[in-house]
Chain A
């Protein structure tokens, strides 16, 4: 079983639709992340959650709404998206780092989103 799963793997939606992306981690981690990967661009961090609390919102438009009901699940609710929001959305998780250390992030396979 993979450590971080994401559903759906592919999603096509119109600009007026509402959809949600789901991420689940089976690694016992306490931090979860959403990234956006557009073509020919670096990965962009969108949101960070530590112990279910949002600790980072990287100037993301309000049409993206994250939800973290527990440390194992993370959602990204989408509404009234634009065609430029088409991208690969990656979820990641990591343990909370101890002082002076850092733990690597483990990524899911991503959801390929196309906005028509």
Chain B
């Protein structure tokens, strides 16, 4: 069965601190996709990144970086020099590869990040 675990329910940091959000997944597929979404208080999930199982290169986008390690089934997300606007719930998700069904996303429980000024 596929599963995504975000063990950190809530994280609170002070502005300018670095913070890492953990994501561990389980799947028996050899081809799969991982995602991170941000959900601000407005409710809309905002897509941040997609990574496929064959690409273990880490990625950096501005203050955001992602560390994908197949050996530990982890896809962690780091925000450098956090800002108040980063406060949100962050979801890690895993896709099934039965894309003929439109693709299903299995979400983790989410990590609520609070960045205080």
Report if B55 contacts A (CB, 8 A).
Answer: no
List 8 additional contacts besides A43-B91, A56-B102, A103-B103; criterion CB under 8 Å.
A33-B102, A41-B109, A42-B4, A42-B106, A48-B101, A50-B100, A104-B35, A107-B44
Interface set of A (CB-CB < 8 Å, partner B): 2, 31, 33, 40-43, 45, 48-50, 55-56, 88, 90, 92, 94, 96-97, 99-110, 112
* Interface Cβ pair total, 8 Å cutoff: 71
Report if B62 contacts A (CB, 8 A).
Answer: no
Do A105 and B103 form a contact, CB below 8 Å, given A41-B109, A42-B109? yes
Interchain CB contact under 8 A, A108 and B102: no
Q: How far is the CB of A2 from chain B (nearest CB, A)?
A: 8
Interchain CB contact under 8 A, B108 and A56: no
Task: Name the interface size band of chain B.
Answer: 20 to 34
Interchain CB contact under 8 A, A102 and B103: yes
Interchain CB contact under 8 A, A102 and B33: yes
> A90–B45 Cα gap in the complex (Å)?
9
Contacts of B106 in A (CB 8 A): 42
Report if B104 contacts A (CB, 8 A).
Answer: yes
> A50–B100 Cα gap in the complex (Å)?
8
Contacts of B102 in A (CB 8 A): 31, 33, 48-50, 55-56, 94, 96
Do A109 and B47 form a contact, CB below 8 Å, given A48-B104, A55-B101, A97-B103? no
Q: List 11 A-B contacts (CB under 8 A).
A: A2-B44, A43-B91, A88-B43, A94-B102, A96-B99, A102-B33, A104-B35, A104-B47, A104-B50, A107-B44, A108-B44
Contacts of A49 in B (CB 8 A): 102
> Which residue of A42, A50, A110 contacts B101 across the interface (Cβ within 8 Å)?
A50
> A55–B106 Cα gap in the complex (Å)?
16
Do A42 and B107 form a contact, CB below 8 Å, given A56-B101, A102-B95? yes
